[in-house]
Copies of this chain bind each other. A is one copy, B any other.
């Protein structure tokens, strides 16, 4: 039961793109989680706030596992418009790529610590070690699930629903006693939700008026009516 949480070596809290329990592919027995090949060849790295970890188009030589902090994965249009695809937190794996180059950029939202893995080394390992393949596969599919839910959000939800969804999602990973601490700016939130900074701000203010949340500080959000919020997030 608890063994399922150890699919990827990490603190056991759910990643932002929450991996469903039992989401191992193929299904693994508890004893197999001992192998944990991802732990061996990694090197620890630190990134200061807003530092780029890799850019869209760079050769994909490493991939990463979050230890602490928050990282955003984003894409840009030629005119600078930005879409944040995901925020990564402790335990999340990112930078796995189909081709030889990254198709997305990754930047530290705040001071962050990651473990970097040489892609080639892990590829070689993965060819021998089926368990490792499965771990990577599971990480990928979790990311795919998240991307799909995110598309539904971006394409078919209004501003209030978007903000409510974000709060609900982020609360799962960063709520202490009903109060969220935001690692990211309003601009980050806006770019994650496909909105503008002003709309995010207005929506939060309106939610405060409606007693759904309280805003004790700009980076702190207290969830007063979590049920109603979850309801908005539908």
What is the total number of residues of chain A having a CB less than 8 Å from a CB of chain B? 53
Interface residues of A in 13-53 (CB under 8 A from B): 19-20, 22-23, 25-27
A111: CB under 8 A from chain B? no
- Whether the Cβ atoms of A99 and B133 lie closer than 8 Å is no
Task: Select one of B103, B124, B126 contacting A148, CB under 8 A.
Answer: B103
A85: CB under 8 A from chain B? yes
- Whether the Cβ atoms of B130 and A85 lie closer than 8 Å is no
C-alpha spacing A79/B161, complex, angstroms: 13
Complex interface: stretch among A134-142, A176-184, A211-219: A134-142
Binary per-residue interface labels of chain A (160-196) against chain B in the complex, 1 for a CB within 8 Å, 0 otherwise = 0000000000000000000000000000000101100
- Which residues of B are found within 8 Å of A23, using beta-carbon distances? 98-99
Chain A positions near chain B (C-beta within 8 angstroms): 19-20, 22-23, 25-27, 75, 77-79, 81-83, 85, 96-100, 103-104, 123-124, 126-128, 130, 133-134, 136-138, 140-145, 147-152, 154-157, 191, 193-194, 234
Interface pairs (23), CB distance under 8 Å: A26-B124, A26-B126, A26-B127, A27-B123, A75-B151, A77-B152, A77-B157, A78-B234, A96-B141, A98-B138, A98-B141, A103-B148, A103-B149, A127-B130, A128-B130, A133-B137, A136-B137, A144-B147, A147-B147, A147-B150, A151-B154, A154-B154, A155-B191
